[in-house]
Structure 1
Amino acid sequence: MSTEEEIYHLKKELVILRINKVTKQKFESHKIKKIQHQISQMNQLINKKKS
């Protein structure tokens, strides 16, 4: 799985968590920050490879 695909799946999961939050369904709030951090790390790796 490439980093772009991983980022795509992480963003998809992030959207689902945000939807659950807005609709007041059960969700794990700590996962939102964790996924955002993972996405940021992946983007840094991609940018580093481009340089």
Structure 2
Amino acid sequence: MSAEAVTLLVLSIVVVWGGLLAAILRLRARPERTDLPSGGEDDHREDVAPVERDT
């Protein structure tokens, strides 16, 4: 392999693994988002469900 190929290989490895490491560290620091609006209400109707159709 030429020097240019090795340089690009090392650069791409650093970018991919560095991005993975940065994402892991960010998720460890702030695991859940708290700025999202609350979701809909669950009415707990187990016997009434939407009609399922094969399409």
Query: TM class, shorter-chain normalised?
Result: 0.3 to 0.5
Which is greater in Rg? 2
Instruction: Name the TM-score, length of structure 1 as normaliser.
Output: 0.43
Alignment TM-score, normalising by the size of structure 2: 0.41
